[in-house]
């Protein structure tokens, strides 16, 4: 029995409806949050990560729509790069994405990501600079968050800041003077603005520690029974302590060991200085190859390490090492005892 014209039309419309429903379901799935798979796993143009994963994504000025979609897919924030692009084009959003710093997770749907990219990023970015980070590491963090371009902070000349900040008169670079803290910067800031903010913070935190009747003594800081030191020397000692010793009380004892070694002309032989010297390509920072203090700070210290350098705790020790398992500092009075401790604690 032949189907009537109306029946054929009804069947055709039903098939179109079913196909449309299936396509809509598929599209909805592909635009849904990219979660459920192992972090970083990829299947075709689909990338899955855990829903709790998050990563700062920097959209640079002039970056194309396809580059943005590819970056999101590579970092696992969209299920399907092709579907993300399709939705962005069909919704008229593809050419409305704004540059800036964004933070997405696998719980963000492609629709939410597109909406966020159209609305634009937050004007301010909160960045944590940790104790013991080097100038290069700080630069990398700020560049990753889109605060500064490239290696612009590391390339700044300390001479450009000496007039405004007297404590930089004897500094060889900004290393050691970029105070670790939580900062709020604008996306696309200049390296100069970032440096000024960090140097202002440094001055505010350090001046009270080295002031005599309210006047900071940058070039004549007295350390009880140890002598008179400049601020760069104090920061150099603090940076070695920051990199080598985790415990607060132990840091003051290590500070005493450093001062005592300097007084008797004994090599400091601090491993962290060798690592830094190799990184920057300057043997003058290596305390195995040179006597006395390194050329300058090897990282940017927090208040705890700086206060330890200013307030060493007297002891009879002359050697120390860090137990790699417990991170506890092991002290020795002489080289023989130190050799036994090395055999006991170090592999």
pLDDT tens, residue by residue, 331-344? 999 999 999 989 98
pLDDT band for 65, please (50, 70, 90 cuts): confident
User: With 90 as the cut, is the pLDDT of residue 281 above it?
Assistant: yes
- SS3 call for 322: strand
pLDDT band for 116, please (50, 70, 90 cuts): confident
How far is Cα 208 from Cα 214, in angstroms, rounded to an integer? 8
How far is Cα 298 from Cα 173, in angstroms, rounded to an integer? 10
* 77 in Cβ contact with 57 (< 8 Å): yes
Mean pLDDT, residues 142-160 taken together: 92
Mean pLDDT, residues 194-222 taken together: 93
Range in 105-119, 227-241, 249-263 the model is least confident about: 105-119
* pTM score: 0.74
Q: Specify the long-range contacts of residues 61-70, CB closer than 8 Å, at least 24 apart.
A: 61/99, 61/188, 62/99, 63/99, 65/94, 65/95, 65/97, 68/97, 68/117
pLDDT band for 43, please (50, 70, 90 cuts): very low
Euclidean distance between the first and the last CA atom of the chain, given in angstroms as a whole number: 89
Mean pLDDT, residues 20-43 taken together: 46
Is 124-209 the same fold as 29-119? yes
pLDDT band for 163, please (50, 70, 90 cuts): very high
Considering the domain 124-209 in this protein, what is its CATH number?
Answer: 3.30.1490
pLDDT band for 275, please (50, 70, 90 cuts): very high
Identify the CA nearest to 240 among candidates 189, 201, 275.
275
Q: What are phi and psi of 167, to 5 degrees?
A: -70, -5
Which one is the CATH code of 29-119: 3.40.50.300, 3.40.50.720, 1.10.443.10, 3.30.1490.480?
A: 3.30.1490.480
Three-class DSSP labels, 232-292: HHHHHHHHHHHHHCCCHHHHHHHHHHHHHHHHHCCCCCCHHHHHHHHHHCCHHHCCCCCCC
Could you tell me which residues come within 8 angstroms of residue 49 by beta carbon, excluding any fewer than 6 positions away? 34, 35, 37, 38, 39, 40, 41, 75, 76, 77, 106
Mean pLDDT, residues 141-148 taken together: 88
pLDDT confidence of residue 231: 96
Q: Give me the residue spans of the domains in the chain.
A: 29-119, 124-209, 215-345
Q: What is the mean pLDDT of the chain?
A: 84
How far is Cα 258 from Cα 236, in angstroms, rounded to an integer? 11
User: With 80 as the cut, is the pLDDT of residue 203 above it?
Assistant: yes
pLDDT confidence of residue 7: 61
* 174 in Cβ contact with 135 (< 8 Å): yes
Residue matched to tokens 């040179």: 290
Could you tell me which residues come within 8 angstroms of residue 325 by beta carbon, excluding any fewer than 6 positions away? 345
Q: Which residues pair with 229 in a beta bridge?
A: 221
């Amino acid at each position: 029995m032949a189907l009537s014209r109306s029946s054929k039309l009804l069947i055709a419309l039903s098939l179109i409806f079913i196909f449309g429903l299936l396509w809509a379901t598929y599209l909805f799935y592909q635009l849904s949050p990219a979660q459920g798979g192992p972090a970083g796993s990829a299947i075709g143009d689909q990338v899955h990560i855990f829903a709790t994963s998050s990563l700062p994504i920097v959209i640079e000025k002039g970056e194309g729509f396809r580059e943005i979609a590819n970056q999101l897919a590579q970092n696992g924030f969209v299920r399907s790069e092709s579907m993300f692009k399709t939705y962005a084009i069909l919704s008229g959003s593809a050419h409305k994405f704004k540059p800036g710093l964004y933070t997405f997770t696998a719980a963000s749907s492609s629709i939410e990501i597109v909406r966020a990219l159209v609305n634009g990023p937050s004007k301010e970015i909160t960045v944590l600079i940790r104790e013991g980070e080097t100038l290069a590491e700080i630069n990398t963090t700020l560049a990753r968050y889109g605060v500064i371009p490239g290696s612009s902070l590391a390339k700044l000349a300390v001479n450009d800041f000496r007039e405004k900040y007297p404590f930089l008169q004897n500094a060889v670079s900004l290393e050691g003077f970029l105070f670790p803290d939580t900062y709020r910067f604008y996306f696309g800031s200049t390296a100069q603005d970032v440096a000024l903010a960090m140097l202002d913070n440094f001055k505010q935190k350090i001046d009270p520690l080295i002031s005599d009747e309210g006047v900071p003594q940058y070039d004549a800081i007295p350390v009880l029974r140890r002598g008179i030191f400049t601020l760069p020397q104090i920061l150099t000692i603090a940076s070695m302590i920051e990199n080598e010793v985790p415990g607060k009380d132990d840091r003051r004892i290590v500070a005493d060991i450093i001062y005592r070694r300097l007084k008797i002309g004994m090599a400091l032989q601090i491993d962290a200085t060798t690592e830094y010297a190799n990184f920057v390509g300057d043997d003058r920072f290596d305390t195995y190859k040179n006597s006395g203090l390194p050329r300058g700070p090897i990282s940017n210290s927090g208040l705890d390490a700086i206060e330890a350098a200013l307030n060493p705790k007297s002891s009879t020790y002359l050697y120390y090492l860090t137990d790699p398992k417990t991170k506890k500092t092991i002290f020795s009075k002489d080289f023989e005892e130190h050799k036994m401790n090395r055999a006991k604690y170090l592999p």
